Amino acid sequence: MKFLLFLTIIIAPLAYQSTVQNTSADTTDLQTYVQDNPPFTPSPDPDRFVFYRRGGFMQYSTSNSILINDDFSLNLTAVRPIVWWTLHHITLTYSWWTSDDQTNWQLIPNNKTGNLKIDSSKTGTKYYQAKATYTIDNKVIFNPYYSKIIKVVINKKPIDTEDLSINTSSPYLLNINSSLLDNIIYATGFRKPEEATDPIVWSTSDDNLARVNSKGEITPVSDKNSGDVLIQALVKNSINKESKVAQKEIRVGGGLDDINAKLGEDVTFKVQGLSTDNRDSSNDISVIWAKKIPGVKKWQNINNADKMSLTIKNIDSHLDGTLYHATFSLKGKSFNTNDAQLTISDSNVGINNHIENISHSNGPLDTPNNLTNIIENDKLNYKLHLSNANKTSLKEETLVIPLPPQVDVKKITIDGQNVEPHYQTENFQKRNLSINLNQFKNKSELDCNINLQVNTISNNASFKSTPSIYGKNADNTSYHNNGKPIEFHFITNTLKHTVHDISFNSVHPFNMESLIYRSSETNAPNNIIDFTDDRRKFSPVKIMVEQEYSFYDLFSDTYLPATLQMYDATNNTSQDILHNPVLIATSADNQKLHYLNWNKNEGLLLKLQPGPISVGTYRTQLNWTFIEST
């Protein structure tokens, strides 16, 4: 694939970069008071029930190992308790100190944010500590929060990662759209040895559910998308060239899960993603549970003493299909959990269902009830086993299976007999496949196979299908039962890229025969190329670039005496790219592409040649080529 780019004395670079660190924990001797000078006793970790009742610093790294001249920053995020008077505008200010020996400390000037760029120009060990202060109209409203001491070791040579694991600050990520919630959890990488220098690259198994940035911050994509997603950490070693991968599954949702139960059972809806500790006795926070019974338009409040869960005892059939949610309120502001449905089975007829991707049978993330990375032309097999525990004949049975619009039904068989498909409803969101089972009424068990083929996938999408069976008991009373939800996750299987403009520092006559660097906004951590990598198989990708012609100013009809050269800082080499395709980068096998960038002293730089320089706007054309291994 070739990409043409027109630039004004500018061009585009790339290189893989990440700023994620290891973490070690030390929670002894925690601070609860104001302190004047470092080293500070660190504050306790934040604590929350619904909202934060104790502030502090969110999960972060306390031990970091990098290479000399790496572009690296420390990133801290402080949170505070929410009480009614802090709903007004407040100011958060950070202060940073540094030390060579953890005894003598110096205040770092001109930095009031939680992000601190580290000077990595010299090898050695440095220590850092931060303070977070909240104010309203310049008046401090909480005691300051103090970070743990953070160590940064700057190494001359790379150190490989031998083992990699990850942890997340919570197994559940809320996707509720509310200003009262931060909707962020944090992933942290643990490497052995701790001194390993290569960066961690973060990714998720489904970008429709959650995204993770280079700091390990995980955020939901939409309050409409819920499900399970894998958080993945990848390290590519510099010395032995091996890749280390670690994964952890989290759940994304609105706080409540649907429940399937039988008549007479007790069921409990539990709010997830928030602390289950009821020690938060703040009278400012109210939690009201409500239900909406099928056929009733209005929601009905439920008397319930437990804020975080709702238990319904000895359920009966009139609650079948009832929706439940909880509303959390604080001084006029509120949010709801998602609506969770209670489905009651009053029939002995059971449904055992699962699905498999025949075209991609070894998908590492697939389960019998969850298919990931489904692409165009995949062949799927949806299997259902219907059984009657009493071994009596099925009577007036209808099987209904919601199907996503991305699939076509190719064949249906029941106990080996072909059946024609019929649809109850059909729209852009779903199709309800309906199968009449009356012809099989003399059987107490049935096997149903549905062969599906995936059609065009224009966008990544997810779909949940819960099959249901409807019919009558021997006394002609109606009943129905649900099978297990089946989740489909479709991807486009494409690699897309966005190339950003690049600018160089000013060229002056006294710069003759010198090297012109790119301006700071086009260097790491800012990206030159952003990728949307929705491929199922992450094959290696080679990226090459060529300068089509010399820099030329159309207005003055003059050429700039300069060439673009590709600089490799590691090997201290350079290559002229004029009429010469040059390899920029090669991704590793099974490496998902996220972004590409360069540090100041590497990548495409402008080399001036002898000759007169005229004022003007000079342009050239770059040919970008992306070659994916097959």
Q: Where are the domains of the chain?
A: 2-16+494-628, 47-250, 259-345, 349-472
pLDDT computed for residue 346 by the predictor: 55
pLDDT computed for residue 54 by the predictor: 80
Beta bridge partners of 340: 324
> What's the fold here for domain 259-345?
Immunoglobulin-like (2.60.40)
> What's the fold here for domain 47-250?
Immunoglobulin-like (2.60.40)
pLDDT computed for residue 264 by the predictor: 72
Q: Residue 521 phi/psi, 5° resolution?
A: -70, -10
Distance between CA atoms of residues 55 and 146, nearest Å: 10
Beta bridge partners of 310: 269
The answer to whether the CB of 202 falls within 8 A of the CB of 120 is no
Tell me the residue ranges of DSSP E strands in 478-534: 478-482, 486-490, 495-499, 515-516, 529-533
The answer to whether the CB of 290 falls within 8 A of the CB of 322 is no
> So what CATH class is 2-16+494-628?
mainly beta
Residue-level length of the chain = 630
pLDDT computed for residue 365 by the predictor: 81
Q: Which of 430, 628, 599, 600 has the alpha carbon at shortest distance from 535?
A: 628
Distance between CA atoms of residues 152 and 158, nearest Å: 14
The answer to whether the CB of 445 falls within 8 A of the CB of 388 is yes
pLDDT computed for residue 356 by the predictor: 95
> What's the fold here for domain 349-472?
Immunoglobulin-like (2.60.40)
Task: Count CB atoms within 10 A of the CB of residue 404.
Answer: 18
Specify the 3-state DSSP secondary structure of 283: coil
pLDDT computed for residue 83 by the predictor: 56
Distance between CA atoms of residues 237 and 164, nearest Å: 12
pLDDT computed for residue 20 by the predictor: 27
pLDDT computed for residue 515 by the predictor: 85
On the question of a common fold for 2-16+494-628 and 349-472, the answer reads yes
327 token code pair: 């509303």
Specify the 3-state DSSP secondary structure of 318: helix
In Å, how far from its chain's centre is CA 129?
29
The answer to whether the CB of 559 falls within 8 A of the CB of 617 is no
Q: Which of 621, 517, 628 has the alpha carbon at shortest distance from 569?
A: 517
Distance between CA atoms of residues 338 and 292, nearest Å: 13
Query: Which residue type does 624 have?
Result: W
Tokens 């729209």 — which residue? 427
The stretches in the chain having pLDDT less than 70 are: 1-34, 49-51, 82-88, 275-284, 345-349, 388-395, 426-428, 439-444, 473-475, 477, 509-513
Distance between CA atoms of residues 93 and 144, nearest Å: 10
* Torsion sign across C-alpha atoms 172, 174, 179, 184: positive
pLDDT computed for residue 306 by the predictor: 76
pLDDT computed for residue 450 by the predictor: 96
**Dihedral in degrees, nearest 10, Cα atoms 584, 586, 591, 593:** 20
Distance between CA atoms of residues 125 and 366, nearest Å: 44
The answer to whether the CB of 298 falls within 8 A of the CB of 344 is no
394 token code pair: 């099925």
The answer to whether the CB of 322 falls within 8 A of the CB of 295 is no
pLDDT computed for residue 501 by the predictor: 82
Q: Which of 223, 299, 221, 208 has the alpha carbon at shortest distance from 256?
A: 223
pLDDT computed for residue 389 by the predictor: 52
In Å, how far from its chain's centre is CA 346?
40
